[in-house]
Structure 1
Amino acid sequence: MFEQCLYFNTTSLARKLEREWTVAFKQFGVTAPQAFMLRVILKKPASLQSELAKEMNISRSTATRTLDGLQKLGYIKRSPSNKDGRESEIHPTAKAVKIMDELNFASGEVTKKLRKLLGNEEFERVVGYVRAVSEAV
């Protein structure tokens, strides 16, 4: 019925992928969105919240909620910014740094599973198409 509906098919795929990454990140006590944001913070420490929101393609309020959750779990800390006095810099804590490799490995395992399921070429093609559509909309 919805074979040609971009909304239906992308949200259906998103729900399935959410379940995969939820299982992968459960051991860390974080949601998939929290884990992906934490991975960005670990790679780009001292980022401003607005920079993280842009990187993750989410609203600032969604970024705030995600960061609040990570802070409650002890994975990040906020500090005043020299770049922009209206925002805080987001830094990973030692607890976050300690799990960084395991977090990246867990995510990589899901990616490996999907590559195996689809094949490398198809996986690369699908990710490229989805990115192109996302950037075009």
Structure 2
Amino acid sequence: MTTLKFLEYVLSEPTKEYEISFEQFLVLRDIRYQENVTQMGIATERNVTRSAVSRQIKSLLKLNYISQTPDPKDQRRLYLHLTQRGAEVEKLIDQKVHLVFEGWIIKFGQKKVDMLLKLLKEFGNEVINLK
């Protein structure tokens, strides 16, 4: 438990300065690297409720990190976009998170860090994300 709490702390630290959680940073990343991102799409991808994602989105909107535009074909569907400030924040946090991983690589080597990330992803897919 101590190790998992430490991982959460270390990965959340770069986001605190910008008043968001690590999960909200991941939402910003999704918006940056994917097209036509919606709240429902994020909820489905992360296997969480739409209301949980809605709370994260609401904060990001309030901070002016993202904006929403309606789908021209279905006004109920809102697409998420990074604002200029949101793009800057995502980039700055990304750089800080990369520094964390670079420190791990220096300490443990690329192979072990890759193995850890692969195991965490597999654990998430096979255990946490079971439906």
Same fold (TM over 0.5): yes
1:97 maps to 87
Q: Which amino acid aligns with 2:127?
A: V
The partner residue of 1:52 within 42, 46, 55 is: 42
8 Å Cα contact 1:42/1:96 also seen in 2: no
**Alignment length (residue pairs):** 127
How far 1:126 sits from its partner (Å)?
2.1
What is aligned with 1:129? 122
Question: How far did 1:40 drift?
Answer: 0.9
Q: Deviations over 1:90-110 (max 9, x none)?
A: 111011122332221222233
Give the Cα–Cα distance (whole angstroms) in 2 for the partners of residues 48 and 125 of structure 1.
27
Q: How does 1:20-35 map to 2 (within 5 A)?
A: 20-35=10-25
Question: Is 1:77 aligned to 2:67, yes or no?
Answer: yes
3-state secondary structure, aligned to 2:12: helix
* 3-state SS, counterpart of residue 87 of structure 1: strand
Letter in 2 for 1:134: I
Q: 1:65 matched to which residue of 2?
A: 55
2:53 is the counterpart of 1:39: no
Shift of 1:68: 0.3
- TM-score, normalised on structure 1? 0.74
Divergent runs of 4+, >6 A: none
The answer to which of 122-131 and 63-72 deviates more is 122-131
Partner of 2:113: 120
Closer, same or farther: CA 112–46 of 1 in aligned 2, 3 Å: same
| Matches of 1:83 and 1:110, distance apart in 2 | 43
Report the TM-score when normalising by structure 2.
Answer: 0.77
Shift of 1:21: 1.7
The runs of 5 or more residues in structure 2 that have no matched partner are none
Partner SS, residue 75 of structure 2:
coil
